[in-house]
C-alpha cells in the first residue's frame, strides 16, 4: 500500500486488505482455542495417571513455554489488529475520496497531479450567438464554475491523501506492535525456537489483583500464560479458589491446596474431613471430581462430579433445610450423581457435570427455614456462581440447569432477584415451600416443578405461591411424581421424578 499519489490511492484494493485483516483476526481467535486445548494437554501430562517421571515433567514444561509464547503472540496480535482495523477504515475512506476527486476533475475536465493539485482549466470560448457583453458574461460564469469544481476536486484529493497518510501511520503502528513477538516489518520468526528467542518469554503482565465481576475475571485469567496462572494458584490459592470466572480446573487445584493445609483444631476441620473423604471415595470409584468451592470456616463447599470446563450439560443441586456439608455432603453429592446418571440415560454419550452446591449455609431447622435470611444470602451467591460458569464457558457454552430442592427453591427464587439475568437455561423446583416470582421475574425460560402428593412442605406456601398451583403466575411445567412420594423422594432412583429431571438437564440434543 502506497500513498504516492491520488491515482495510486484510487486503485488500492481495500476489499482484499480488509479480507486479509479479517483472516488474521480469525487466526487470532483460533489461537485462543488452540492454546486452551494445548494447555489442557499440558495439565493432563502433569498427572501421575498419564505420564510419570522426568520425561513427563519435561513435556509439561515445554507446553507451558508454548503457552507463554502463544499468550504473548496473541496479545500482540489483538493490539495489532486494532491498528489494522484503523488502517482499513482509513484506506477505505482514502480510496473513496480519491475516486470522487478524479471523477470530479474528469467532469470539468481538468487534470489532477499526484499531489491532488488541479492543472490548467480548459478554455471557454465566447458564444457567437450572443451579443459580446452577454457572451463575455457567460464566459466568466463558466470559468468561475470550472474553477469552483476544480477547487472541490482538489479538496477531495487533499482529504484522500490525508486519509492515506492516516492509513499508513496505522499500518506502521500495527507492525510496531508485532515487533515484540519477533516481526520486524520484513521477516517473522522462521520456527518456534527462533520465536522463543525473539519473544524472550517475558510474559504478559496481568493486573496486580484480579477484578471482581465474573466476566472481567474470566478475561483477566484468559490473558495470562499458563505459567502465570500456576503462579497465582500456588501463591494465592485462597483467592483463586473462590473467584467466580476462573475455570473449574484452576479452582479445583487451588482449593485442594487449601484442603491439604487444614489440620486438626483449625476452624472448619470437620468440613475439610468430610470433603476429603467424599473426594477420596469418589475418585477411588473412578469418578472425576472437582472441588469448585471450599471455604471450610464458613462451611461452604461446592463439589462437582464431572468436568465443569468441558461438560455439555451442567446442573447445580441446591439443598434445603437441615443440610450441612459435614453430615450431608455425601447425600447431596449422591443426589448430584443421580441427576448426572439420569441425564446420561436420557442422552447417552452426553458429557454431564453436576455440582453438590453448598455455596450457602442452609437453615439448620424448620424455624429458621420460615425466614428468608439465608435465601437472600444464598441467592446472591448462586447468581454469582452461575455468572462464573457462564463466563468461563463463554466460548463453549454448556446447558445449565439449577435443580433446587425444598428451601433451595427459595434460594433460586432470590437468585433471580439479583441484578442482571439469571445465567441458567432451566430451573427445577422440587418440594418447594413457595415462590414469589412470576414467569418474567424468575428469568429462566424453562421452569419445572415437582410436588409430591404427600409432601407437606408443598402445602404451606411459606415463601410464596405454590408452583404446582394451576393459577400460579410462574407457569411451571409439572414433572411426574407418585402418590406415595414424600419430601425426600425426588432424587430416588425408583421414582419417576429423577428420570424426568435427567431429561430436563440433558435438554434438546441429537441422538
What percentage of the chain carries pLDDT values higher than 90? 45
Percentage above 70 pLDDT, the chain? 82
Higher confidence at residue 49 or residue 454? 454
CB-based contact 458:432 (threshold 8 Å): yes
pLDDT at 72 over 70: no
pLDDT at 1: 46
Q: Grade residue 59 by pLDDT with cuts at 50, 70 and 90.
A: low
**Can you tell me the mean pLDDT for 106-127?**
83
Say how far apart CA 408 and CA 429 lie, in whole Å.
8
If one counts every other C-beta atom within 10 angstroms of the C-beta of residue 58, the result is 12
- Where does the pLDDT of residue 126 fall: very low under 50, low under 70, confident under 90, or very high at 90 and above? confident
Write out the three cell numbers for 10.
Answer: 484510487
For residue 361, give the nearest of 344, 346, 341, 376 by alpha carbon: 376
pLDDT tens for each residue of 183-193:
655 555 545 55
Cα–Cα dist 135/141, whole Å: 10
Q: 291 near 275, Cβ under 8 Å? A: yes
Residue corresponding to grid cell 495489532: 80
Residue 427 near residue 475 (C-beta atoms within 8 A): no
CA distance 28 to 222: 13
pLDDT digits (tens, 9 = 90+) for 264-291: 988 899 999 999 999 999 999 999 999 9
Cβ neighbourhood burial of 390 (10 Å; 0-12, 13-18, 19+): buried
For residue 120, pLDDT over 50 is answered with yes
How many Å apart are CA 390 and CA 423, to the nearest integer?
A: 7
Among 92-96, 167-171, 348-352, 421-425, whose mean pLDDT is lowest?
167-171
Q: What is the pLDDT of residues 362-385, one digit of tens each?
A: 998 988 888 888 999 999 999 999
In angstroms, the Cα distances linking 295 to 164, 279, 298, 301, 328 are 59, 15, 6, 6, 16
Q: What are the distances in angstroms from CA 90 to CA 3, 26, 96, 98, 164?
A: 12, 21, 10, 12, 7
What's the rounded Cα separation, in Å, for the pair 308 and 189?
37
Residue 228: the pLDDT is 83
For residues 132-139, average pLDDT: 80
| Whether pLDDT at 510 is above 90 | no
Between 19 and 423, whose confidence is greater? 423
Average pLDDT over residues 174-188: 63
Distance of CA 307 to the CA centre of its chain: 17
In angstroms, the CA 287 to CA 456 distance is 36
pLDDT digits (tens, 9 = 90+) for 434-478: 999 888 899 999 999 999 998 999 988 898 888 888 878 888 999
State the pLDDT at residue 292. 98
Residue 399 has pLDDT above 50, yes or no: yes
Q: What is the per-residue pLDDT for 101? A: 85
Rounded Cα gap, residues 164 and 271, in angstroms: 67
Question: Given this model, what pLDDT does residue 383 score?
Answer: 96
Distances (CA, A) of 384 to 76, 128, 289, 354, 389: 32, 87, 21, 17, 9
SS3 (DSSP) at 157: helix
Give me the mean pLDDT over the 200-216 stretch: 67
Q: DSSP string covering 56-88, please? A: HHHHHHHHHHHHHHHHHHHHHHHHHHHHHHHHH
pLDDT of the residue at 324: 94
Q: How confident is the model at residue 203 (pLDDT cuts 50, 70, 90)?
A: very low
Average pLDDT over residues 402-420: 94
Q: Which of the listed ranges 102-111, 216-225, 475-484 does the model predict with the highest average pLDDT?
A: 475-484
- The dihedral region occupied by 245, where left means phi > 0, alpha psi between -120 and 50, and beta the remainder, is left
**φ, ψ for residue 297, nearest 5 deg:** -60, -30
Give residue-wise pLDDT tens across range 24-40: 777 666 666 666 666 66
Residue 88 has pLDDT above 60, yes or no: yes
Cell of 507: 435438554
pLDDT in tens, 292-340: 999 999 999 999 999 999 999 999 999 999 999 999 999 999 999 999 9
What is the rounded distance in angstroms from the CA atom of residue 300 to the CA atom of residue 326? 10
DSSP state of 353: E
The secondary structure of residue 120, as a DSSP letter, is P
* Rounded CA separation 449/461 (Å): 14
Q: Kindly provide the b/e burial profile for residues 111-149, where b requires at least 16 CB atoms within 10 angstroms of the residue's own CB.
A: ebeeebebeeeeeeeeeeeeeeeeeeeebeeeeeebeeb
Q: What is the mean pLDDT of residues 153-165?
A: 85
pLDDT score for 2 = 46
The answer to whether residues 422 and 443 touch, using CB atoms and an 8 Å cutoff, is: yes
The Cα 284–Cα 304 span in angstroms is 15
| Overall residue count recorded for the chain in this entry | 511
User: How confident is residue 419, by pLDDT bands cut at 50, 70 and 90?
Assistant: confident
Average pLDDT value for the chain: 85
Amino acid at each position: 500500500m502506497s500513498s504516492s499519489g491520488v491515482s495510486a490511492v484510487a486503485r488500492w484494493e481495500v476489499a482484499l486488505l480488509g479480507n486479509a485483516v479479517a483472516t488474521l483476526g480469525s487466526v487470532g481467535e483460533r489461537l485462543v482455542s488452540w492454546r486452551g486445548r494445548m494447555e489442557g494437554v499440558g495439565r493432563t501430562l502433569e498427572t501421575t495417571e498419564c505420564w510419570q517421571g522426568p520425561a513427563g515433567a519435561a513435556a509439561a514444561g515445554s507446553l507451558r513455554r508454548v503457552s507463554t509464547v502463544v499468550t504473548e503472540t496473541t496479545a500482540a496480535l489483538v493490539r495489532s489488529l486494532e491498528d489494522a482495523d484503523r488502517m482499513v477504515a482509513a484506506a477505505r475512506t482514502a480510496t473513496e475520496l480519491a475516486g470522487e476527486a478524479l471523477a470530479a476533475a474528469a467532469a470539468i475536465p481538468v487534470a489532477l497531479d499526484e499531489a491532488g493539485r488541479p492543472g490548467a482549466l480548459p478554455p471557454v470560448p465566447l458564444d457567437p450567438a450572443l451579443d459580446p457583453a452577454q457572451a463575455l458574461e457567460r464566459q466568466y460564469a463558466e470559468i468561475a464554475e470550472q474553477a469552483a469544481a476544480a477547487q472541490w476536486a482538489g479538496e477531495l484529493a487533499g482529504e484522500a491523501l490525508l486519509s492515506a497518510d492516516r492509513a499508513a501511520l496505522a499500518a506502521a503502528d500495527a507492525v510496531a506492535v508485532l515487533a515484540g513477538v519477533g516481526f520486524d516489518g520484513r521477516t517473522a520468526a522462521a520456527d518456534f525456537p527462533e520465536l522463543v528467542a525473539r519473544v524472550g518469554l517475558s510474559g504478559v503482565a496481568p493486573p496486580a489483583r484480579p477484578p471482581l465481576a465474573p466476566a472481567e475475571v474470566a478475561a483477566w485469567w484468559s490473558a495470562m500464560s499458563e505459567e502465570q496462572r500456576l503462579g497465582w494458584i500456588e501463591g494465592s490459592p485462597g483467592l483463586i479458589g473462590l473467584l467466580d470466572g476462573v475455570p473449574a480446573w484452576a479452582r479445583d487445584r487451588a482449593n485442594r491446596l487449601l484442603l491439604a493445609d487444614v489440620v486438626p483444631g483449625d476452624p472448619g476441620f470437620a468440613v475439610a474431613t468430610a470433603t476429603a473423604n467424599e473426594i477420596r471415595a469418589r475418585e477411588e470409584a473412578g469418578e472425576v471430581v472437582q472441588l469448585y468451592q471450599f471455604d471450610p470456616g464458613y462451611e461452604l463447599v461446592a463439589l462437582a462430579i464431572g468436568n465443569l470446563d468441558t461438560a455439555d450439560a451442567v446442573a447445580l443441586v441446591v439443598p434445603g433445610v437441615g443440610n450441612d456439608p459435614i453430615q450431608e455432603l455425601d447425600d447431596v453429592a449422591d443426589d448430584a450423581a443421580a441427576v448426572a446418571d439420569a441425564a446420561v440415560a436420557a442422552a447417552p454419550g452426553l458429557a454431564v457435570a453436576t455440582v453438590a452446591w453448598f455455596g450457602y449455609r442452609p437453615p439448620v431447622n424448620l424455624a429458621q427455614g420460615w425466614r428468608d435470611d439465608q435465601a437472600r444470602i444464598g441467592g446472591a451467591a448462586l447468581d454469582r456462581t452461575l455468572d462464573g460458569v457462564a463466563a468461563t464457558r463463554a466460548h463453549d457454552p454448556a446447558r445449565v440447569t439449577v435443580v433446587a430442592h425444598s428451601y433451595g427453591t427459595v434460594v433460586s427464587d432470590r437468585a433471580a432477584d439479583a441484578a442482571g439475568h439469571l445465567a441458567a437455561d432451566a430451573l427445577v423446583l422440587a418440594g418447594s415451600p413457595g415462590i414469589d416470582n412470576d414467569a418474567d421475574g424468575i428469568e429462566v425460560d424453562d421452569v419445572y416443578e415437582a410436588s409430591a402428593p404427600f409432601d407437606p412442605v408443598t402445602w404451606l406456601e411459606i415463601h410464596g405461591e405454590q408452583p404446582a398451583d394451576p393459577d400460579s403466575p410462574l407457569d411451571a411445567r409439572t414433572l411426574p411424581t407418585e402418590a406415595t412420594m414424600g419430601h425426600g423422594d425426588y432424587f430416588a432412583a425408583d421414582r419417576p421424578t429423577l428420570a424426568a429431571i435427567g431429561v430436563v438437564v440433558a435438554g434438546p440434543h441429537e441422538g
